[in-house]
Structure formats: structure tokens, C-alpha cells
Structure 1
Amino acid sequence: MALRFEHRDTELDESLVDRVWRTRSDAEETMTSAARTCWHLILSRAQGRLLAGLRGPETRATTAPVPPGTEFLGVRFALGAVLRPHPAASIVDGYVPFPVTESGRIVIGGEGWEAPTFDNVEHFVRRLQAAGLLVRSGLGDEERVTGPTERTRQRRYRALTGLSRTAVRQIDRANAAATMLRDGLDWRTAVETLGYFDQAHLAHALRRYVGYTAGELRTGRSPSMSFLYKTHAGPGS
């Protein structure tokens, strides 16, 4: 059975957290993870054991095993949000595990934190903020003031996000296209709406960033994959 994702918005400033999701695996399978521009906090529980860590921005679609009987909780942080001990640029296409104490607390920045649940992520995030571990980068503020050169802005953007503006646009656009196709729209609509040159251009982007063809997405023949909730080109467009 394909993974079923439940997701929700939060009460938090949108410059910090983009989305919260959860799912459960009932049987051993694999999941295709679409490329993404932001980092996630991922928690998994299986047989009473808690694992936690950060998945960084990903520059292409990847496939990973999913163990059976495991519950997953994910917090997608907004583009430019910074967890000071682990900036996004240091974990592009990577994963950083966090130690978990015997009492089930997650160790971040040398301190143990009560693991969040789907319903209380806001409390967890606010505590990280109060401790100075999680901050807004002010990404984009420099666009509204004079001073830094374009090269300086690009360098700062990559330092904060781990990606170039072009990569962010391409990844978010591919995710938006995949969402449109899974919603039943045809490839022509995706091409026209999102500014692809033609069907071949869209197909190349889907293979690289999503891992499936337009036909597989439209007909639902694609196996389990990470939740696609982007409905527009997103940041950087």
C-alpha cells in the first residue's frame, strides 16, 4: 500500500516553518523522495525506538527503503530558516542524525529537547527560537535595499540555502508540475502554466527532480513518493 500523508499548516511565521506532515508504513517498501529546496526535521518511531535527524535540501530525486511498522513525523522548514548548529549549506543531499537520550529527548545544540508531536510542533519550534538555535535569515531583505551587488546577494543566498536561485526555481517548478499532473491535469497545461519550453523540457525536469514520468504521475502508477504539496513555482520564481 502506498504511503498516505497527512499534513497541515502551522500557526508559526511562514518564514520559519512551511508545513508539518506525518505518515505510517504498514509494509516494507521503498519511497521516492522528490528533490526539495528546504531542510526537514524527520522523526521516526518503530518498536518503541525513536530516531531523529535533519534531511538537507536535495538536488535530485532519490529512492530510499521504508521499514515496516514505522511512524514518521516531518517538519519542513521554510527556505532560509537557519538551525545554527547545522546550516542548510552543510547538509545539501545529506542527512545529520541527532542523538536521542534513553528518556526520548532529542539532543540539538548540546541540549535535550522533548520530541515534538504532529499536534505540538509549534511549541517545539518556539523553544528552539527562544534558545537562539533557530533563526530567520532575513533572506530576501537585501532585495529591498540598495547596497550589496548581485554577486554578493547570490553568494549570500547560496550560503543560507545551500542552493543557487536557479536551482531553487527549477526544483520548485518541477514539484509544482508533478502536483498538477497528479491532480489530473495534462502535460500541456503544466508546460504552459509553468513556462517549460516543451514536453521534452518538462520530461527532463520530472526525471531529474521527481523521478517519474508525466504519464506515471497522471495515472497514479508511480510507487510511494514524498508528499508533493507545492502548487506553484515557489521561492525564487
Structure 2
Amino acid sequence: MSVERLPTASGYAERPSRLTGAVVWTNTPAASGVRPVLPDGCMDLLWTEGRLLVAGPDTRAYVPDGAPGRWAGVRFFPGTAPALLGVPAHELVDRRVELTDLWAAPEVRRLTAHIDSAADPADALEEVALGRAAESEPVDPLLREVVAALDAGRPVSAVADELGLGARQLHRRSLAAFGYGPKTLARVLRLQRALALARSGMPFVDTAARAGYADQAHLARDVRELAGAPLGELLARG
């Protein structure tokens, strides 16, 4: 998935996680260069010195506070984090919350101390995610099919029919898994497709057509609404 959820662009690195559908990342924010986190449908388990947090799914650009210190995170493929965290995704939309709001405070304090003292906090955080996943119900494979179909540009009504779901049932399951309905998820995934195409050097008019927008004006409106800035400005940030 996208790497748009990093606290800043400086000092960022990521690797595939041993947990299916996740990546592990690290970052050391600089005093300058903080950039907004753009919607991508993902959720993150975050560590920074002395704290464990959760980043919920975004519907708009999120501007980090640029707090100094080391950061590590496990970023989960859309729909996979709620079972692990034990909370429906819609309760965390556009929010960053302390893990103590979701899990027992004594357990979170123990985990935080363990990660703080680890030689590699990112590896220790990944172990937390792996352990929690082992104790959780498996993720419904249907959710990955929903993401794949919407990311391919399939209409929501067609996705519901192909998966044997009514429109209301798909919407309800999407709220719990992704934080928002399938139409919003489709917009977020389309935004990420457009960013990837534009960053590859594709002209904006072709980017609009390939990503699934009606025209370049539609692309411009949607990017500004979701990302809070014009596409050209986003590309200039790197």
C-alpha cells in the first residue's frame, strides 16, 4: 500500500512485515519538512518514545504536529486492523488515539516499556502486532476482495453483486472494516492510483483517464478535497 501516512518525509524507511498485509516503517522527524498524511485506507499501530498510539483511517489530509523523536509503525492493509485492535474502524476515522483508549492500561504500559527498551523498537512493535493477530479472529477474506475490486475501479453496485452482498450489507461491513462506506473507500483508492501515476511522470490528463476520473477537472477537484492541495503541489513535495 501507499507510504503516505508517515509523520514526515525525513529519515523514513519501511520493509514488508511478517504479518500478512502489513508493512513496518521507521521515521525520525526533522524540525522542518513535515508533510500532510494523505488518505490511503490504511490504519497504523504507532510507537514513539514512551507512547503507543493508533492512527485511524483518514478521509482528508492529516497534518502531524512534527513532534521530535523516533517513530515506528505497523501499517495495516485496509480492513485488516479492526480485528487485531478489537474496535470497529468507523470509531477511529480521522483520529489518532492513545492505545490505552482501546486496550487495558496496564498491558499498554508493559508493552510500551518493552518497546522503549528494545534494541530495535520497530521489530518489538511488529512482535506486538503478530502476537495480537495470533489471538484475534482471522480477517474475512471477502474484505480483501472488496478492496481489490474497488481498487480496480469497479462500480460499488457491481462489487456488491459480484460478491453476493446487498448494498446495505456491503455498506455496513465496510464501515466496520474500513471506517467508511465503499464509495468513500473507492475515492481514497482512486486518489492513490492517481498519485502513483502522476509521480511516474504521466501527464495529468492521462492520469485522470487511467485512474478512473471523468476528466482532468474531476481529478483536480477530488485531489484538492481529499489531499487539501493541488496535484502539482503534492508532486513537488516528493
1:29–1:67: 8 Å Cα contact kept in structure 2? no
Report how far residue 43 of structure 1 moved: 1.4
2:74–2:126: 8 Å Cα contact kept in structure 1? no
Within the alignment, does 1:75 sit opposite 2:74 as a pair? yes
Superposition pairs for residues 1-237 of structure 1, below 5 Å?
2-14=9-21, 17=22, 19-28=23-32, 30-45=34-49, 50-68=50-68, 70-81=69-80, 82=82, 83-99=84-100, 108-109=103-104, 111=107, 112-113=110-111, 114-115=114-115, 117-119=121-123, 121-132=125-136, 135-140=138-143, 146=164, 148-218=165-235, 220=236, 222=237
What CA deviation, in whole Å up to 9, does each residue of 1:13-55 have, x standing for no partner? 22xx2x222211231554311123121112123xxxx222111
Give the share of equivalent positions with the same residue, in percent.
25
Task: Return the structure number with greater relative CO, CA threshold 8 A, min gap 6.
Answer: 1
Q: Measured at CA, do residues 122 and 67 of structure 1 come closer, stay the same or move farther in structure 2, by a change above 3 Å?
A: closer
The 1-side partners of 2:67 and 2:163 are apart by: 49
Which structure is higher in helix share?
2
With the length of structure 1 as denominator, give the TM-score of the two structures: 0.73
Structure 1 gap segments, 5+ residues each = 100-106, 225-237
Which structure is higher in strand share?
1
Taking only aligned residues, the RMSD between alpha carbons, in angstroms, comes to 2.9
Matched length: 205
1:88–1:160: 8 Å Cα contact kept in structure 2? yes
With the length of structure 2 as denominator, give the TM-score of the two structures: 0.73
Report how far residue 122 of structure 1 moved: 4.3
What CA deviation, in whole Å up to 9, does each residue of 1:130-170 have, x standing for no partner? 333x7424443797775x53322322222222211111110
Structure 2 gap segments, 5+ residues each = 1-7, 147-159
What CA deviation, in whole Å up to 9, does each residue of 1:194-215 have, x standing for no partner? 1111111111111122233222
